[in-house]
Amino acid sequence: MNFSKIPPFSLLVIMFVLFFSPRSIFSDPLMSGKEASEISKEFLRFAEKDEVFDWMVRLRRRIHENPELGFEEFETSKIIRDELDKMGIKYKYPVATTGLVGFVGSGKPPFVALRADMDALPLQELVEWEHKSKVPGKMHACGHDAHVAMLLGAAKILQEHCESLKGTVILVFQPAEEGAGGARRMIDAGILENVEAIFGLHVITDLPVGEVASKSGPIGAGVGFFEAIINGKGGHAAIPQHTIDPILAASNVIVSLQHLISREADPLDSQVVTVARFQGGEAFNVIPDSVTIGGSFRAFSKESFMQLRQRIEEVIVRQAAVQRCNATVDFTMKDNSFFPPTVNDKNLHTFFKKVAVGLLGVDKVKTTLPVMGSEDFAFFQEVIPGYFFLLGMKDEAKGKLSSPHSPHFTINEDAFPFGAALHASLATRYLLEYQKETSLPIEASHDEL
C-alpha cells in the first residue's frame, strides 16, 4: 500500500482502526503476548472444570480397560468417533486401518496438526485397581490411553472456540506407534497434505505435574533392527577340531560389535548397538551347524545411523569369516526396520517455549536431555516441521510411578488439564502466528509513513 497517496484524514482513520479498535483475544492475529497468554490460561481453566476433567478421566479409563494392539484399535477408535460425533466435529475414518483424523475450525488453510497414539502393549497388567485391563496379556503400559483422552480434551476446548480459529486444526488419532510404524501408514494415506506443522506429547513419570520438558534438535534416537545367521559345521563337542564352531564365531562377532561404539563412534555422537537375541544349539554335547543373533542399533542422526548399519554388516560377515564361518545379515526382518531420529524443529522450539511459558510459567518449562528410545512421531517430522514434548505426571504425595513399558505402569490423571490446554494452545496460537506472518506488518507501514 502506498500511504503517501492517502488523504491525511483517511490515513488518520486507518491508523485509529489499526491501533485503537476493540479486539477479541480469540480473533485478533496481531494480539500482544499478554493477550495470547490469556487464551492459554482460559483453555486451562476450561480443562480444569469438574465436568471436563471427569469426562477425560472416564474416557481414559474406558480405553484402559479394553487395550488393543497396533492396527487392532477398533473399539478405541469407536470411542473416539462417538465423542467427536457428540461434539459435532467432522472426521475421516478409517485411516491406516483403525486411525482417524478430525477437523476443527474454518475448514480452510492454514492447517496445523495435533497427534495422539492409540495402541497398547502385549503385557499382562499387574496393577490391581477398579479399571484394570480386562484383556489378558494386553495393557496400556505407555500412556497412550492418556494421550487419547487429552487430545479429545483439546478437541473439546477447540470446538468451544472454533469460530475464532484462524484456520483448521487436524486431530490425528494414530494407530500402531509401538513398533509397527502407524505414523508412516498415516502419512502414506495423505493426512499431512497442506499441513504446516504437527505437535505431539508423551507423558513422563519423573517430571512433576504441571511441568513440561523438551529441546530443539534430536530428542529421541533413530532405531534399526538386524538379524544375522552364522553358518559353520556342526559335530560332537568332544572333537571340535572336526567342526567349524558358529557359537565361537558369534561370540567374537558380539564382542567386535561393541568396538564399533567404543573405538569408532565419536564420543560426542551417542550411539548404541545391542545384541539381545542369541539362538543356537539344543544339546550340551553337540556343536550346532548355525547360530542366529539379533539386536538393535541407535543413533541421533541419519548419517551416523547409516554408517553404523554399514559397519554392523561388515563386522558380522568379516568376523565370522575369521572363524571360517559365513554369515548373512538381514535388516528387514521387520516390516519397519528403521525408525528415524525424533528431531524437533528449531523454530517450533522457540514457539513452544513461548506458548508453554505463557501457560505454565517460566519455571515449569524444562530442557530435557535426548534419550536413546525411539518414537514414530519422527516419521511426521521427516515430512513437515514437527515438535514433540514431555508432560510431567510426578506427584510425591501419590507415590513413585513405575516407568513406561512396565506391567506396574500407572497414570496420574491430574496431568490431563495441562496436556489438553497445551495441545489446544499450541494449535490456536500457531494459527494466529501464521496469520501474523502472512499479513502486512505494522512496522512496514510505519516505515512508509
Query: 292: how many CB neighbours lie within 10 A of its CB?
Result: 14
Of 28, 34, 39, 48, nearest in space to 426 by CA: 39
Is residue 162 part of an annotated ligand binding site? no
Of 331, 368, 371, 369, nearest in space to 353 by CA: 368
Given a contact cutoff of 8 angstroms between Cβ atoms, the answer to whether 120 and 144 are in contact is yes
Biggest distance spanned by C-alpha atoms of the chain? 106
Which residues are registered as beta bridge partners of 114? Answer: 171, 199
Q: Is the peptide bond before 218 cis (omega within 30 degrees of 0)?
A: no
Residue type (1 letter), 347 = N
In order of 141, 241, 307, 343, the CA distances from 214 in angstroms are 22, 57, 27, 11
Q: Which helix (H) or strand (E) holds 237?
A: none
Q: Which helix (H) or strand (E) holds 370?
A: none
Nearest 5°: the CA angle 100, 98, 152 is: 40
In whole angstroms, what is the distance from residue 157 CA to residue 135 CA?
A: 32
Given a contact cutoff of 8 angstroms between Cβ atoms, the answer to whether 275 and 295 are in contact is yes
Is residue 264 part of an annotated ligand binding site? no
Buried b vs exposed e over 329-344: b needs ≥16 C-beta within 10 Å?
Answer: bebeeeebbbbbbbbb
β-strand 217-220 against 212-214: which pairing, if any? unpaired
Q: Please, is 404 exposed, middle or buried when counting C-beta atoms within 10 Å of its C-beta (0-12, 13-18, 19+)?
A: middle
In order of 256, 270, 273, 300, 321, the CA distances from 263 in angstroms are 10, 12, 13, 18, 21
Question: 3-class SS at 246?
Answer: helix
Residue type (1 letter), 331 = F
Q: How many CA atoms lie within 13 A of 387 on its CB side?
A: 27
Is residue 202 part of an annotated ligand binding site? yes
Q: Rounded to a whole number, what is the distance in angstroms from the first to the last CA of the chain?
A: 11
Binding residues: 142, 144, 178, 202, 405
Binding residues for Mn(2+): 142, 144, 178, 202, 405
